[in-house]
Structure 1
Amino acid sequence: MTQGANFDLNARQEAAACANAEDAAVWRWFSDLYDQGLIRWCRTDRGWLVSVADRHVATTATFDEGIREAMARTQDADLPRNKKKDSSNREEKLR
């Protein structure tokens, strides 16, 4: 294998590792919010609508894009991310 081919292989492996780590972070975030009942989504004629904590945060063509956009938009906002569920607060909110 030539030096250039070895560099290309290393670059591809590093890119794959970064993509896997990003995917894992997105789906951990999604799972946490799903378990807490804080994320909702639906398919409409406009695309996928995604809401976090009763606030619409994304409308995209695909489900994957919608979840990623929702995560990106809630990172800087005052919306839940990976908080543990406070059942007393949730029950009060439902009344």
Structure 2
Amino acid sequence: MIRARNLIAAVLAALLAAPPADARPRAPKACRAEIGAVRAADLVRACREAGPAMPALCRPETPCAAMREAIEAACQGPGSEAKPACREFDDEDDDDADGDD
């Protein structure tokens, strides 16, 4: 009887100590899975054009938000207005500001 109680107590303690499956941190979603292969390829192209020093970041497996942040950072420096990706990025930002999505 005492062994059974100890076993039940141990099992309950283990169950209560484990975080629920949905509470575990998830890996960020790949951009391709988030927005589709075609749009992800466009974002990868823009990322590579804006910041060619970051090829490991500019991949379809990278989260879209990370690539957008990299593009934004690369487009802050002098001469960035000459990069097509930066002009496209500015145009997208202007569209968002209008609220006419």
TM-score using structure 1 length: 0.35
Indicate the structure with greater helix content.
2
Indicate the structure with greater strand content.
1
Return the structure number with greater relative CO, CA threshold 8 A, min gap 6: 2
TM-score using structure 2 length: 0.33
